[in-house]
Chains A and B, each alone.
Chain A
Amino acid sequence: MTKKRAILKILSLDARTTPAEIALQTGLTVEQVEQTIKELETEGVIRRYKTVIDWDRLEEGRVFAFIDVSLTPARDKGFDDIAERICRYPEVHSVYLVSGSQDLRCVVEGRSIREIGDFVAQKLSQIDRVTGTNTHFLLKRYKEDGDIFVDIETDSRLRVTP
């Protein structure tokens, strides 16, 4: 594994791992680690450091929905101008252009079903050239960005073996 990949792998597992700890785990020097991280940040490979949160385990309710949006593309712009516009809403988590019967797939967050419903009705569907929306509310998270949110495997090894 290359130096960069090794550091990225460790940070992707725990973004709080310090350069000193990464140096210990990889056999690189602290200076090499700091220098490489700086490069990765400058190159935009590392976008930012975030925390994986299972919001469902927190008392306060948060509701997520996948919203598929149909658009009429415009000459020269395609779907980009509308997609960029949708990105600006803070309640919108992700926006992807996808193949299939609809054009954009968005992940939207709200405090209630009602709030997301209002967002769709009053904002999203009001955008010019949006011809339709299809909303799926998220009911349960099993796996997200590679992290499994349910405990499926336990250590079944005997405690002392040769």
Chain B
Amino acid sequence: MSQNYSTPPQKPLNTAISNCPPSGIRRFFDIAQTMKDVITLGVGEPDFVTPWRIRETAIWSLERKGYTSYTSNSGLLKLRERICEHLEGRYGVKYDPVEECLITVGVSEGLDVALRVILNPGDEVIVPEPCYVSYIPCIEFAGGVPVLVKTDSEDGFRLHADRVEAAITPRTKALLIGSPANPTGATQSREDLQHLVNLANKHDFYLLSDEIYDRLTYLGEHTCMGALDGARERTIVLNGFSKAYAMTGWRVGYVCAPKAITTLMTRVHQYTMLCAPHISQVAAIEALENAEKDVQEMVFDYDRRRRIFVQGLNQIGLECYEPKGAFYAFPSIRRTGLTSEEFAEQLLMEEHVAVVPGNAFGPSGEGHIRCCYATALPLLREALERMGNFIAKRMNALPEENLSTIGKQP
């Protein structure tokens, strides 16, 4: 009888990746996915299905046109032209569709490629936190060192330039920010962003701007980083179709940056990804050309739910500052005395409402939970009721003075 003897390899796997902890979201996913009767506020995507005109265009392109081949590495020129027209029309910033725009497999790939192009081993990237779960691992995978800058709910997670400046060292290579932000829903003002651009010029570092939620801005206007004074030549604008057009599963995004950066990014993309899915690129053209009304209707709907949900959270005693963008509320749960993970786990087990613990997004996220309000209004109301029960039970166990403030607006 023959037997294959196999001993596991003794050489260690990649250190940066081995040292990276698994996503804090994973554990809740496993529990929630098997549970019945769960209302989920734990998602990071729209509840809308992609507008029909976009789906229909994709079907047509497969059925009648046979668009099943590779595209150019940079992506379909027509799509890049539409993107550059869109950015110029909307934000007044000009990019050359041929040399300064790259179609990526979502912002995720764009971010990964951008970091790889910018960083040498040991270079530092300043990241305000709480932040999107991928930022820190992607910096580490690219050989960089994340330097975290704290932001607080007390002032709406404003990114203070002086805090950023305090974090700058000779190794600082870039600043990575997302506005509107996942998980906080915070948006940074034009003035505050301009301060950051000024810092970048003063200390010579790059700006990575994740603007995937740009269209989901409910109060004030979104500012494209590349449009600010002195920003364009050192800024990489990352955006895509997932959120504004409800196209998460299509995996299509884009990067706009000066020629020198785009050229190198295209080189990485060319060898690692080849191109974004052809059919998704065709769908994205339709999105930019004809789905503006769909976007506005979805934004209107998110905004209604945002107002209802945030007021509801404050009423049940979860203090929540007003998120101005994206589709997340990030209330404080500190008064319950629970940690974020305890809160999320107990809420899921007792009331069958799934939320994401705030510490999954960085140390400053502790004491918060992320709730996505991109869910049908009746479910949102039901979730608020269940969360209200949960809070009431916890508060009854606490001393009298805590009770008196429940339900009052902060």
Residues of A whose CB lies within 8 Å of any CB of B are 1, 6, 9-10, 24-27, 153, 155, 157-162
Contact = CB atoms under 8 A, between A and B. Distances in A.
B42 A25 contact: no
Given A9-B300, A26-B307, A160-B28, A155 B354 contact: no
Contacts of A157: 40, 43, 45, 47
Majority secondary structure, A binding face:
loop
A27 B44 contact: no
Contact of A153 (B43, B49, B296): B49
B134 A158 contact: no
Contacts of A160: 25, 28-29, 32-33, 40, 42-43, 354, 356
For A6, A158, A161, the residue with the greatest tally of chain B CB atoms inside 10 Å of its CB is A161
Contacts of A161: 25, 29, 42-45
Nearest to A6: B300
Contacts of B29: 158-161
For A1, A24, A157, A159, the residue with the greatest tally of chain B CB atoms inside 10 Å of its CB is A159
B38 interface: yes
* Interface range, B side: 20 to 34
Interface string B249-272: 000000000000000000000000
Interface of B: 23, 25, 28-29, 32-33, 38, 40, 42-45, 47, 49, 132-134, 182, 296, 300, 303-304, 307-308, 311, 354, 356
B303 to A, nearest CB: 8
Contacts of A159: 29, 32-33, 38, 40, 42-43, 354
Nearest to B46: A157
Contacts of A1: 296, 300
18 contacts: A1-B296, A6-B300, A10-B304, A24-B308, A24-B311, A25-B303, A25-B304, A25-B307, A26-B307, A157-B45, A158-B33, A159-B38, A159-B354, A160-B25, A160-B28, A161-B44, A162-B25, A162-B132
B206 to A, nearest CB: 24
B42 A26 contact: no
Given A9-B300, A153-B49, A162 B307 contact: no
